[in-house]
Amino acid sequence: MYEFLDYQVADAMTYRPLTVSPGTPLAEVEALFERHDFNSLPVVSRDGILLGVVTKLDFLKAFAFTPQEMVPHYDEIMRRPVESVMTGNPVTIPPHMVLTRLLQLMVDARYRSVPVTIGALLIGIVARQDVARALRRAAAGEGPKLRRTRPDCDRKPALAAPGRSQRVEEAVA
């Protein structure tokens, strides 16, 4: 299990995940959720900049009953663009974050998955099952797959101040 201490997000994440654009209709998002059994999809610009994340819960919120609309119009809602329901400014993490820190973040905040970015550019996503798979590999004695160019073992994540970017960075202790 000690091998797990050497793992970073880059060792467990899914590179180049399936994404949607801000104008993608909710009908297409629902079909992708069904086809791939995903809980969330990153929403990106044409140049790969992360704009937000749409989750199954975001999708369901589009159908919430309100005093203004007691019976939502299904077909009309399914034509709405994903940007109308997505969560903007999601929490992101860098690929060099130590996986133990991500594990703690996922447990504490109950995240199912977290986008991985370099700056604003989406490069991947890491989900609970990815972390579980890395734990299994470490328990079998496998070290991380990627070589390290810098040590990150003494780093701790620091959350951004309210109103600032929601990127989770690693701050030197």
Under a CB-based contact definition with an 8 Å cutoff, are residues 167 and 117 in contact? yes
User: Does the pLDDT of residue 163 top 90, yes or no?
Assistant: no
Under a CB-based contact definition with an 8 Å cutoff, are residues 92 and 17 in contact? no
Q: What is the DSSP string of 29-67?
A: HHHHHHHHT-SEEEEE-TT-BEEEEEEHHHHHHTT---S
Q: Is the pTM of this model over 0.75?
A: yes
Architecture per CATH, domain 2-172, reads as Roll (3.10)
> Look-up: residue for tokens 């986008």?
115
User: Does the pLDDT of residue 151 top 80, yes or no?
Assistant: no
Domain range summary for the chain, segments of one domain joined by +: 2-172
Task: Summarize pLDDT for 69-118 with one digit per residue, the tens.
Answer: 777 789 999 999 999 999 999 999 999 999 999 999 999 999 999 999 99
User: Does the pLDDT of residue 156 top 60, yes or no?
Assistant: no
User: How big, in percent rounded to 5, are the helix, strand and coil portions of the chain?
Assistant: 35, 25, 40
